[in-house]
Amino acid sequence: MGKKGREIVGSSIDEIVGGLKVAYCNELTAFHCYWYTSLYMQGIGSLTIAGKFKDSAMEELEHAGMIAERLNQLAAIAKFAGRLG
């Protein structure tokens, strides 16, 4: 499937794969931010708002999954080298 996907995309494959890799990392970063915030919220209303952040986190994870699927169709792999400091 990857070979056919690359044929369809043609000469702009590197640019498209590069953009998809950036988008994949951005989605995972957004997932992390929403998820982490949902876990450590404090104060009035945090219980209700934390659920909204968890929902947003899962939406971002779904977006990352769609991009990963597209990368797979193009025979490319997104390596996530995020570091926690």
The binding site for Fe ion (CB under 5 A) comprises 27, 60, 63
Q: Which residue's beta carbon is nearest to the bound Fe ion?
A: 63
CB of 62 to Fe ion, least distance (A): 8
Reported for 7-11, long-range contacts at CB under 8 A and 24+ positions apart, including other chains, are 9/74
CB of 63 to Fe ion, least distance (A): 4
Rg (CA), the chain: 16
Q: Choose between 38 and 60: whose C-beta lies nearer to Fe ion.
A: 60
CB of 76 to Fe ion, least distance (A): 19
| Residue for token pair 């929902």 | 55
